[in-house]
Structure 1
Amino acid sequence: MMIEKTDQDRPTAQAMRRGAMLRCPACGQGRMFTGYLKVNDTCPECGEALHHQRADDGPAYLTILLVSHLGAPLLLWVFLTYQPSPVSMLIGFSVGAVVLSLLFLPIIKGAMIGAQWARRMHGFGGSDAEPSSS
């Protein structure tokens, strides 16, 4: 008897929250990354395989989108309210964009890996998710 796996087996929101906290999407305890953006091959706590992840450029694109959508209205508000010099705005907003990007990038990558794990994408579904060789 084969039991059909559903989305209820792996709640997407919970897996994305765990990933955004840089933890294993399966157990929520083990660290997902060995470095700044290097993903562990397996979870050190539960042994869940994490090497299947294919985040690629998605987190970078989402980070740029988020930082620019936060920065543009703030830039306009600061300019109209305080009228700082162009050099001070350039330096301030450049540093702010870099800092926000560096903070958001691992969080977004972790959430994206959590979503892939929950949706059983790219081999996260186990042996039944692999295509048959016949």
Structure 2
Amino acid sequence: MTDPVYPPLSTLSTGLRCRCPRCGKGPLLRGYLKIRDACPECGLDYSFADPADGPAFFGMTGVGTVGLGLFMWFEFTVQPPIWVHLVVTMPLLVLACLAVLRPIKGWMVSEQYIHKAAPAEWASIGKHGDGSKWK
């Protein structure tokens, strides 16, 4: 019996929907940000997935850039008191960061699967200074 063949899927589509990067059907995440052990549909082991702090960095950078532009526009056109920014603007920025975190994490895991990301493997070439003409 042969293993089923899975066609390559769009990393953007599967990632933003937080679906399995191989079959596109099974859920990638359990809870809000916890990556499952394996896909319940196709059995893909998700042990390769380690996006680390990438989703938080890209999410905050994107939301911060757009948010800063909107903040400046709001400040210069309406000129509200500071408490309006504390009550409205800051919670909106936090909610926007939380909203983009899941899709970005799914997209990064999909990219890791497609590009066969793996931990770095280092090989020793000997002791420090061996083989050097500087002794």
Q: Normalising by structure 1, what TM-score? A: 0.79
Tell me, yes or no, if structure 1 residue 57 matches structure 2 residue 79. no
Alpha-carbon spacing, 1:49–1:16, altered in 2? closer, same or farther (3 Å)? farther
Query: What percent of counterpart residues are identical?
Result: 33
Tell me, yes or no, if structure 1 residue 107 matches structure 2 residue 79. no
Distance 1:51 1:40 in 2: 9
Unaligned runs of 5+ in 1: 1-8, 124-129
Unaligned runs of 5+ in 2: 1-6, 123-135
Larger of the two Rg values belongs to structure: 2
Q: Aligned runs of 1:1-134 on 2, under 5 Å?
A: 10=8, 14-122=10-118
1:16–1:112: 8 Å Cα contact kept in structure 2? no
Distance 1:68 1:105 in 2: 13
Q: Normalising by structure 2, what TM-score? A: 0.79
Q: How many residues align?
A: 115
DSSP-derived class of the 2:107 partner: helix
Q: Which 4+ stretches in 1 moved above 3 angstroms?
A: none
